[in-house]
Amino acid sequence: QSVLTQPPSVSGAPGQRVTISCTGSSSNIGAGYDVHWYQQLPGTAPKLLIYRNSNRPSGVPDRFSGSKSGTSASLAITGLQAEDEADYYCQSYDSSLRVFGTGTKVTVL
């Protein structure tokens, strides 16, 4: 049972903007801990997409952006592309342990 809840799926047409929420509590995101996001393309290992709430590693397109407020965080994908179809996971810290969100499948229509 993950302590970080994400919607199971989101979808959008190419070019659209989609957002994925990551809802936590006062013991994780609400305690001020950073949120990170990962993209997992089919059959591959996860890849760091956003770190420390809103920072993009080198090579990640600026179509991807992250934010955090209160006990939740969000990942936005603008200008959705076919290659963005993947699973996305948030990750934070709770009770001295790293925790992942439940994961969201993004489908490009």
Partner 1 sequence: EVQLVESGGGLVQPGRSLRLSCAASGFTFDDYAMHWVRQAPGKGLEWVSGISWNSGITAFADSVKGRFTMSRDNAKNSLYLQMNSLRAEDTALYYCAKDIGGTITADDAFDIWGQGTMVTVSS
Binding residues (CB under 8 A) for partner 1: these are 2, 33-34, 36, 38, 40, 44-48, 51-52, 57, 87, 89, 91-93, 96-103
Q: How far is the CB of 89 from partner 1 (least distance, A)?
A: 5
Do the Cβ atoms of 48 and 75 come closer than 8 Å? no
Q: How far is the CB of 71 from partner 1 (least distance, A)?
A: 14
Nearer to partner 1, 57 or 79 (CB): 57
Nearer to partner 1, 18 or 93 (CB): 93
Could you please report the per-residue DSSP string of 36-57?
EEEEE-TTS--EEEEBTTTBPP
* Cα–Cα nearest to 76, from 99, 102, 52, 106: 106
Nearer to partner 1, 85 or 87 (CB): 87
Do the Cβ atoms of 91 and 98 come closer than 8 Å? yes
Q: How far is the CB of 32 from partner 1 (least distance, A)?
A: 9
Amino acid at 52: R
